[in-house]
Homo-oligomer: A and B are copies of this chain.
Amino acid sequence: MTPHSPSPRSRRERPAKPALTRAGIVATAVELMRAEGLERVTMRRLAQELDTGPASLYVYVRNTAELHAAVLDELLGEVDLSPVRSAGDWRDRLARLLTSYVEVLFEHPALARSALVARPSGEHYLDLVEAVLALLAEGGAAPERAAWGLDLLLQYGTATAAEHSTRAESADAQRDREALTAVLDNSSPDRHPQITALGPDLIAGAGEARLAWGFQVLLSGIVTAPDPDTTPAAGTGADAGTGAGAGAGADKNSAPDTATDTTP
């Protein structure tokens, strides 16, 4: 029974206290999130789960944000990348890929929120980026266009997931919706004629269709909009880029990378 010699009956009925490693910490964090939600994945709670003090975690993880980023990357392993190498139109396959990404994040909106602030850089995230770029390239997007388009697409997916409220907050979310509905009902036709006219259309849910339409809009726009270089910052010229976007869009859509608008 001395601290040095293990007692005869300690034939590891329970792993007792496995050595701390970064991988082990992250794995436990993922488990904890699955069981209790990201809001419970705190340094203190996690340390408790690992039978140690919170200070010990700081040997392996810089801070809470980094921990959450690691958890996120782990989760991104679940994204279905198969559309990249499947048959069919690149737009549809890209939409399927991104929908899978959003579905994974939907399970943990708080994680999506953190992804919006601290850009991830894990292995699984890179696989996702690679996949999106491959499909954009297949669609003929020139490098810069693809890089910027990637940002737009992932940001849209991430933000959409982030907007979804966690179960815990759903009571508040419902209050939000009620408040907005009340405001819309009371909207004055004088001050807010457009809002009054649209009415309930403004909060028409149909989340799935909305998400799909958003991807369509982005894909059309990414292929169609004028070349990044020629787009002036808003607030400059009054007629710059006016109809050029969709005007030349039809042509450019056929061969986006051969567009001539690099020269204004």
Interface residues of A (CB under 8 A from B): 63, 65, 87-89, 91-92, 95-96, 98-99, 113, 116-119, 121, 126-127, 129-130, 133-134, 137, 143-144, 146-152, 155-156, 158-160, 162-163, 165, 169, 172-173, 176-177, 179-180, 183, 187, 191-195, 197-198, 201-202, 204, 208-226, 228, 231-235, 237-243, 245-247, 249-250, 252-253
Contact of A220 among B129, B148, B246 (CB under 8 A): B246
| New A-B pairs, 13, CB < 8 Å, besides A116-B159, A220-B225 | A87-B238, A89-B239, A119-B163, A121-B176, A130-B195, A143-B201, A146-B194, A148-B214, A156-B159, A213-B228, A218-B221, A246-B246, A246-B252
What separation, in Å, do the CA atoms of A214 and B148 have in the docked complex? 8
A165 to chain B minimum Cβ distance, whole angstroms, is 7
- Give the residue name and chain of the B residue nearest to A80 (CB): B235
Residues of chain B contacted by A221 (CB below 8 angstroms): 216-222, 224-225
A246-B245 contact, Cβ under 8 Å, with A92-B239, A147-B204, A179-B121? no
A108 to chain B minimum Cβ distance, whole angstroms, is 14
The 7 closest A-B pairs by CB, nearest first: A221-B221, A217-B221, A133-B194, A246-B253, A95-B234, A250-B250, A159-B159
Contact between A180 and B246, CB atoms less than 8 A apart: no
- Give the residue name and chain of the B residue nearest to A226 (CB): B216
Contact of A194 among B63, B134, B173, B211 (CB under 8 A): B134
What separation, in Å, do the CA atoms of A95 and B104 have in the docked complex? 32
A155 to chain B minimum Cβ distance, whole angstroms, is 5
